[in-house]
């Protein structure tokens, strides 16, 4: 590592968070397989009603219990090392974050055991669907509690990251990843409280007969609150990954990242703009023309700093010698998917085309290319790079290459396929296209995408095997 | 394999604008993507042949800053601003240029789990009167006339989504939202719900049937008379925002 030389073993809390995220990924992936079963083969798969529970659990598990604790775990494991400190600012905050996230996951899954079944409103839990009349199951309350706990868990970890950064760096060069995690934590501290407020008010509506979000109150208020949190959350998850990809390319080529200052400015611009664009999730609710046009302009403007980040990756590779190992393979895949996924956001940023696309599979394809594909491959790159530090042993190079290649190929089939379905007007969250005569002819496409998704799921076992194998064989003393 | 994926047949006057902008942003995206990937592939191929990284030129940072500013300008001027300008123009002159006047076919859309009902004002052109024509799951409209919808819901949030009309608009309890279209061809267009509304969400559909003007007039006159005849004297409160329409 050319940026930090202090050898700091990761704390127990960091490892606990990383393990928890492994559980979150496994569960989220399992739910994805089950819901793809219904989509591809509705006759034999889980029922239409169960499908609603499955996509709710899938999205929630992936955002709050896979990606979020993975990033918290990485920041808690690596930040002290990057900054040249022996520990994080607080050694208890990491454990508090872990405990809160674990309780949240328990709440999410516990709902499944309740008499009326699990929450089935999607991860956004829009009222009035999520209020008692339409969702009488106590699982819906538990769902809000789960989001509250996970949100607070992320908040505690973010405060700890900011406090650690505030101690300053003792290393010569602070890696870009420290900036990435810092900005991400800033977004979390600003916007997770909005999520906490929204879920608290929702619980009050369900149990205290308040009417914040009932039709007799203002049901749209929740959508505003949710996306004020929800959109910056995307950047809170993305910025550290982009930064780790930058660091990895620089390290790999044996030079510093070119355009470091421009990249930092771009990261800040993405974080700032990303906090002001949430309204593009609400183009179809009848925002006023001024609000809609302002949100459209800000949304599309995110392309400017994002393209500078991509330019810096290319500049870093310029004139460099490259040895293609698993980590670099993952990073290159992540870059390709980021460009692809980012560009598919453009028709969703423009109001008129969004009104046609926003309820369709196109949106699902778009955010899975960015979040599920690009971020996941970027995180795999970071995992390969840092696993020796985390666990004292490297991940298998051969398994890594296979996993990178297969995942890269299959996410294109699954999620680009979804873009196509969306352009054809296929709505998302429809378990069985045969209900809609004008769209029933696309059912075979869903079958194909499900088969590709199953293959993608199986390919993830390579990563699981690689991690478990490394953990099993890692020397006792470094644990 | 099933049908090839393509945009659905368009039945509305503003559909071609949306299709054109979609095509525009797809072409621009594909071009940018191809360019970026060509550069990335070239960098990787050259990089694999090198044994050592060349050191950066002393003024590399400065060149990078210049390139970044140029790229930002190209993205803004070449991609973002034209896209925003076209979308803004289409909103101003078509999608949100709501029609007014006697020629407008006004319809109240009530979404409910898991169906759609539609109300025409009937012969007296006023909502909430005995001759209102209410239909379930089928909206009949005349060819060529602007159709203005006032949408609401009596339970949860739904979305009136008619791909064939390039139309998507939420129906929200406690509020009215608006949308309009002008059908340009005869035929039947499927309407689906595009906002998850509970377990039977996929079954929530309706049909927009575009009739020749004369057929529509005959139908609405007959139905309106029938409504008047069957009216039982109960109160028909208008539950739309039409009373506020200029």
Angstroms from A381 CA to nearest CA on chain B? 17
Q: What pLDDT sits at residue A5?
A: 45
pLDDT at A3 over 80: no
Cα dihedral A317, A318, A320, A326, rounded to 10, equals 20
Angstroms from A5 CA to nearest CA on chain B? 22
Q: What pLDDT sits at residue B244?
A: 43
Quick check: A432 and B202 CB within 8 A? yes
Omega prior to A195 cis, within 30 of 0: no
Closest chain A residue to B175, measured at CA: A215
- Residue A308: pLDDT band (50, 70, 90) is very high
Whether B198 contacts chain A with CB within 8 A: yes
Q: Are A99 and A16 in contact (CB under 8 A)?
A: no
Whether B168 contacts chain A with CB within 8 A: yes
Percent with pLDDT over 90 in chain A: 89
**Claim: this prediction has a pTM higher than 0.90:** yes
pLDDT at A475 over 90: no
Segment A444-471 mean pLDDT: 97
Quick check: B199 and A49 CB within 8 A? yes
Quick check: A358 and B168 CB within 8 A? yes
Omega prior to A128 cis, within 30 of 0: yes
Q: What is the pLDDT of residues A225-265, one digit of tens each?
A: 999 999 999 999 999 999 999 999 999 999 887 889 999 99
Considering only CB atoms, which chain A residues are within 8 Å of B113? Answer: 134
From A200, A182, A91, select the one nearest A141 (Cα to Cα).
A200
Quick check: A314 and B40 CB within 8 A? yes
Closest chain B residue to A416, measured at CA: B5
Q: Whole-angstrom Cα distance, residue A49 to residue A116? A: 11
Quick check: B64 and A262 CB within 8 A? yes
Angstroms from B132 CA to nearest CA on chain A? 25
**Which residue among B71, B157, B194 sits closest to A219, beta carbon to beta carbon?**
B157
Q: Which of A136, A438, A442, A450 to mutate: most B Cβ within 10 Å?
A: A438
Closest chain B residue to A318, measured at CA: B43
Q: Would you call A285 helix, strand, or coil by DSSP?
A: helix
Q: What pLDDT sits at residue A296?
A: 96
Q: What pLDDT sits at residue B4?
A: 86
DSSP state letter for B191: E
Closest chain A residue to B189, measured at CA: A438
| Residue B172 vs residues A162, A436, B154, B167: alpha-carbon distances, Å | 40, 22, 8, 16
- C-alpha distance across the termini of chain A, in Å: 21
| Max Cα–Cα distance, chain A, nearest Å | 65
Strands B133-136, B158-162: pairing kind? unpaired
Residue A466 pairs in a beta bridge with none
Whether B3 contacts chain A with CB within 8 A: yes
Angstroms from A318 CA to nearest CA on chain B? 6
Considering only CB atoms, which chain B residues are within 8 Å of A351? Answer: 87, 91, 95
Considering only CB atoms, which chain A residues are within 8 Å of B27? Answer: none
Q: Whole-angstrom Cα distance, residue A292 to residue A287? A: 6
- Residue A305: pLDDT band (50, 70, 90) is very high
- A439-444's contacts with Cβ under 8 Å and 24+ in sequence apart are A439/B190, A439/B192, A441/B2, A441/B3, A442/B2, A442/B3, A442/B5, A443/B2, A444/B1, A444/B2
Considering only CB atoms, which chain B residues are within 8 Å of A266? Answer: 68
Closest chain B residue to A306, measured at CA: B72
Quick check: A355 and B95 CB within 8 A? yes
Q: Whole-angstrom Cα distance, residue A267 to residue A278? A: 18
Strands B205-211, B138-142: pairing kind? parallel
Angstroms from B206 CA to nearest CA on chain A? 9
The mean pLDDT of chain A is 94
Helix or strand holding residue B219 (H, E): helix B213-230
Quick check: A430 and B80 CB within 8 A? no
Angstroms from A111 CA to nearest CA on chain B? 17
Angstroms from A334 CA to nearest CA on chain B? 12
Q: Would you call A174 helix, strand, or coil by DSSP?
A: coil
From A168, A148, A241, A226, select the one nearest A194 (Cα to Cα).
A226
Find the length of chain B. Answer: 246
Phi, psi values for residue B97, rounded to 5°: -95, 80
Residue-level pLDDT, tens digit, chain B, 246 residues: 567 889 999 999 999 999 999 999 999 999 999 999 999 999 999 999 999 999 888 898 899 999 999 999 999 999 999 999 999 999 999 999 999 999 999 999 999 999 999 999 998 888 888 888 999 999 999 999 999 999 999 999 999 999 999 999 999 999 999 999 999 999 999 999 999 999 999 999 999 999 999 999 999 999 999 988 888 776 555 454 444 443
Closest chain B residue to A338, measured at CA: B33
Q: Are A144 and A45 in contact (CB under 8 A)?
A: no
Q: What is the pLDDT of residues A369-396, one digit of tens each?
A: 999 999 999 999 999 999 998 888 899 9
Q: What is the pLDDT of residues A318-360, one digit of tens each?
A: 999 999 999 999 999 999 999 999 999 999 999 999 999 999 9
From A411, A447, A440, A444, select the one nearest A426 (Cα to Cα).
A440
Neighbours of A17 (CB within 10 A): 30
| Max Cα–Cα distance, chain B, nearest Å | 91
Within 68-97 of B, beta carbons closer than 8 Å to A belong to: 68, 71-72, 75-76, 79-80, 83-84, 86-88, 90-92, 95-96
Q: Which of B18, B39, B81, B202 to mutate: most A Cβ within 10 Å?
A: B202
Contacts of A135 (CB under 8 A, 6+ apart): A119, A120, A121, A129
Q: Whole-angstrom Cα distance, residue B26 to residue A421? A: 15
From A376, A354, A363, select the one nearest A244 (Cα to Cα).
A376
Whether B104 contacts chain A with CB within 8 A: no
Q: Whole-angstrom Cα distance, residue B102 to residue B10? A: 26
Quick check: B84 and A350 CB within 8 A? yes
Q: What pLDDT sits at residue B2?
A: 60
What's the complex ipTM? 0.94
- Sheet strands side by side (includes B138-142): B138-142, B205-211, B187-193, B158-162, B167-171
Q: What pLDDT sits at residue B237?
A: 55
Q: Which of A356, A369, A420 to mutate: most B Cβ within 10 Å?
A: A356
C-alpha B122 chain-centroid distance: 26
Q: What is the pLDDT of residues A44-62, one digit of tens each?
A: 999 999 999 999 999 999 9
Q: What pLDDT sits at residue A276?
A: 95
- Count of pairs with CB atoms under 8 A, one residue in A, one in B: 269
The dihedral of CA A251, A255, A259, A262: what is its sign?
Answer: positive
Question: Which class for A336: exposed (0-12), middle (13-18), buried (19 or more C-beta within 10 A)?
Answer: buried
């Amino acid at each position: 590592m050319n940026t930090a030389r202090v050898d700091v073993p990761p704390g127990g809390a960091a490892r606990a968070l990383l393990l928890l995220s492994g559980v979150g990924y496994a569960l989220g992936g399992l739910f994805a397989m089950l819901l793809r079963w219904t989509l591809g083969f509705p006759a034999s798969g889980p029922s239409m009603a169960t499908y609603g529970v499955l996509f709710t659990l899938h999205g929630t598990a992936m955002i709050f219990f896979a990606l979020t604790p993975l990033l918290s775990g990485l920041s808690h494991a690596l930040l002290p090392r990057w900054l040249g400190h022996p520990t994080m600012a607080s050694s208890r905050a990491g454990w508090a974050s872990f405990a809160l996230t674990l309780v949240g996951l328990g709440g999410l899954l516990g709902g499944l055991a309740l008499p009326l079944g699990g929450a089935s409103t999607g991860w956004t839990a829009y009222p009035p669907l999520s209020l008692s009349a339409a969702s009488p199951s106590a699982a819906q309350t538990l769902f809000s509690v789960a989001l509250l706990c996970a949100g607070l868990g992320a908040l505690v970890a973010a405060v700890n990251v900011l406090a650690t950064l505030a101690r300053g760096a003792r290393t010569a060069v602070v890696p870009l990843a420290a900036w990435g995690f810092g900005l991400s934590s800033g977004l979390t501290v600003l916007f997770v409280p909005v999520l906490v407020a929204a879920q608290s008010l929702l619980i009050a509506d369900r149990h205290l007969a308040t009417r914040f979000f009932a039709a007799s109150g203002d049901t749209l208020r929740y959508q505003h609150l949710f996306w004020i949190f929800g959109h910056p959350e995307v950047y809170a998850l993305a910025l550290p990954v982009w930064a780790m990809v930058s660091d990895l390319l620089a390290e790999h080529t044996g030079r510093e990242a070119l355009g470091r200052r421009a990249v930092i400015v771009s990261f800040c611009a993405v974080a700032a703009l990303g906090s002001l664009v949430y309204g593009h999730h609400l183009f179809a609710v009848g925002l006023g023309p001024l609000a809609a046009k302002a949100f459209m302009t800000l949304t599309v403007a995110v392309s400017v700093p994002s393209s500078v980040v991509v330019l810096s990756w290319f500049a870093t590779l310029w004139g460099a010698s490259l040895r293609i190992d698993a980590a670099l393979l993952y990073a290159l895949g992540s870059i390709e998917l980021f460009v692809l996924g980012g560009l598919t956001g453009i028709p969703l940023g423009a109001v008129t085309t969004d009104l046609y696309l926003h309820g369709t599979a196109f949106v699902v394809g778009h955010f899975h290319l960015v979040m599920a594909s690009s971020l996941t491959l970027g995180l795999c790159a970071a995992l390969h790079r840092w696993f020796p530090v985390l666990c004292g042993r490297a991940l298998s190079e051969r398994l890594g290459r296979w996993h990178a290649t297969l995942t890269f190929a299959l996410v294109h089939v699954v999620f680009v396929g979804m873009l196509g379905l969306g352009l054809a007007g296929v709505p998302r969250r429809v378990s069985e296209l045969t209900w809609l005569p004008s769209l029933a002819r696309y059912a075979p496409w869903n079958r194909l995408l499900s088969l590709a998704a199953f293959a993608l799921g199986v390919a993830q076992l390579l990563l699981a095997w690689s991690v478990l194998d490394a953990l099993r064989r890692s020397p006792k003393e470094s644990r | 394999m099933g049908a090839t994926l393509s945009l659905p047949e368009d039945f509305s006057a503003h559909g071609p604008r949306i299709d054109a902008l979609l095509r525009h942003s797809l072409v621009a995206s594909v071009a940018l993507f191809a360019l970026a990937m060509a550069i990335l592939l070239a960098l990787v191929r050259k990089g694999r042949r090198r044994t050592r990284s060349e050191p950066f030129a002393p003024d590399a940072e400065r060149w990078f800053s210049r390139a970044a500013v140029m790229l930002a300008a190209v993205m803004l001027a070449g991609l973002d601003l034209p896209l925003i300008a076209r979308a803004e123009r289409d909103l101003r002159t078509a999608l949100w240029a709501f029609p007014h006047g006697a020629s407008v076919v006004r319809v109240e859309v009530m979404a409910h789990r898991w169906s759609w009902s539609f109300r025409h004002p009937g012969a007296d052109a006023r909502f909430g009167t005995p001759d209102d024509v209410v239909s379930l799951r089928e909206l009949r409209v005349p060819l060529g006339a602007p159709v203005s919808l006032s949408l609401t819901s009596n339970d949860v949030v739904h979305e009136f989504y008619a791909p064939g009309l390039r139309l998507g608009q939420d129906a929200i309890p406690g509020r009215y939202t608006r949308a309009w279209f002008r059908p340009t061809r005869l035929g039947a267009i499927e309407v689906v719900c595009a906002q998850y509304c509970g377990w039977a969400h996929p079954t929530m559909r309706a049909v927009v049937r575009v009739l020749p003007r004369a057929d529509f007039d005959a139908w609405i006159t007959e139905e309106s008379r029938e409504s008047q005849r069957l009216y039982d004297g109960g109160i028909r409160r208008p539950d739309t925002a039409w009373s506020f329409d200029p």
